[in-house]
Chain A
Amino acid sequence: FPVAPEAEDEGKTLQLVESYLQNFYNLQRDHQPLLRNKGENPLAEKLKEMQAFFGLEVTGKPNPDTLEMMKKPRCGIPDVEQ
């Protein structure tokens, strides 16, 4: 069945959020939020970290202000681990 528009948007939003947090907040690419024990969701934790940095409301959820900030052009953070 064609993906319902809101579900499609939801998928795009999740992709934007994951990609942003992987690029700038070191969210592990293999993070499996569902497999973790209940209390721990790395994506929500990293999202809170980002929201706190930018002085946004810390909800752990991608609200409009958070998504707007994620879409702003910015400085990259190169991977210095290696």
Chain B
Amino acid sequence: YVFTTGNPKWERKNLTYRILNYTPKMRQADVDEAIRKALSVWSNVTPLTFQKVEDKEADIMISFAYRDHRDNSPFDGPNGQLAHAFQPGDGIGGDVHLDEEEAWSKNGRGYNLFIVIAHELGHSLGLSHSNDPGALMYPTYSYTDPKEFLLPQDDIDGIQAIYGQSDAALQPTGPITPRACDPKLTFDAIATLRGEIIFFKGRYMLRKHPARAETELNFISLFWPKLPSGIQAAYENVERDEVLLFKENKYWILKGYDIAPGYPKKIHHLGFPKTVKRVNAAYSDETTGKTYFFIADRYWRYDENKKSMDHGYPRKIVSDFGKIGRVDAAFQKDGYVYFFHGTTQFQFDPRAKRIVRQMKSISWFNC
């Protein structure tokens, strides 16, 4: 995180805000809700409070503005600059200006008003832009479902360094942006995808392309806005050019950038008994058309051609794959299966039916 030059901050904890006007692109009640929620993002983690005022000067004046709106910083039409805000101080200090020409929304279409205002309020309180790509205060826009939004730890650390912690007994913490070469990095799920390998972690996906040295970090929502974060298992069916993603008792089928219509479906649709509530990991063997699902200490085998579970399952993982413990994630590549358990990775040879190598979880990232 970065403080604004000169470390400006509000000396009072009880601040006021006023909504000067509204955008015709959203219902007024939705704008009010987006602003209320955006303020609570910061008041939840600090001693700050925000009181709405209607008919007098407020510390934070929020307005929609068009092109040159007389603050020496004209907007630029749709896209590009979405909004800006002024650091703490009198007069224009703390004010938030939103570019009226943007496609404001309360969901994933256009630009989500809640996300943008929450970012701008960080400036109104004294934060500048963070270079943590997962931080709310990162300069470029990225969508997160407001229902799933959690203020990242980098932003919490920044704002608490200015105003201190909230009075709550239990201090909230936030998601930490995964770094490819963090030796403690573990994964929620991993799948191949058209020759690449996608490592899922929280809201993020690390994308490893065989021909590129560096690993790309993206939000899952950048590619699939309708997918939740916290994917728990994933595998690619190469023949059908599909990736199946699992979370709790639901699964989605992705075809490139699109989620197949009619999904998510319940995992019992695949043939799991009702006692199975979630899948820990999965991989599909392209040569045999068999897919392996790992749940706790057992695994099921599914026949992709017959589209049904094979008989004689579940079986104990240890019986057929050795001592790999509970499987967090798995994928198959070049004939080998890679199992991930915490920060440990096992390379399994399905022909020899044994583990041939043990590595660190981050061995794919050229650290």
Q: Give the total of A residues in contact with B, Cβ under 8 Å.
A: 16
Q: Mark A30-69, 1 if CB is under 8 A from B, else 0.
A: 0000000000000000000000011100000000000001
> How many angstroms between the C-alpha atoms of A78 and B79 in the bound complex?
16
For the complex, is B84 an interface residue (Cβ under 8 Å from A)? Answer: yes
Q: Mark A1-36, 1 if CB is under 8 A from B, else 0.
A: 000000000000000000000011000000000000
DSSP class of A's interface residues: helix, strand, loop or mixed? loop
Q: Give the total of B residues in contact with A, Cβ under 8 Å.
A: 27
Establish whether residues B84 and A73, one from each chain, have CB atoms under 8 Å apart when the complex forms. Answer: no
Which residue on chain B has the smallest CB distance to residue A72?
A: B140
**Which one, B25-33, B70-78, B278-286, B304-312, is touching chain A?**
B70-78
Which residue on chain B has the smallest CB distance to residue A24?
A: B139
Q: Which of B73, B87, B111 is within 8 Å of A76, CB to CB?
A: B73
> How many angstroms between the C-alpha atoms of A53 and B99 in the bound complex?
25
Establish whether residues A76 and B84, one from each chain, have CB atoms under 8 Å apart when the complex forms. Answer: yes
> How many angstroms between the C-alpha atoms of A82 and B70 in the bound complex?
12
Supposing A23-B81, A54-B131, A55-B131 touch, asked if A75 and B86 sit within 8 A by C-beta, the answer is: no
Residue positions of B touching A, CB distance < 8 A:
71-73, 75-76, 79-87, 97, 99, 111, 116, 119-120, 123, 129, 131, 133, 139-141
Give 20 new A-B contacts, CB below 8 A, not counting A75-B119, A76-B75, A78-B84.
A24-B139, A53-B131, A54-B131, A73-B140, A73-B141, A74-B80, A74-B82, A74-B139, A74-B140, A75-B81, A75-B82, A75-B129, A75-B141, A76-B73, A76-B81, A77-B73, A77-B84, A78-B72, A79-B72, A80-B87
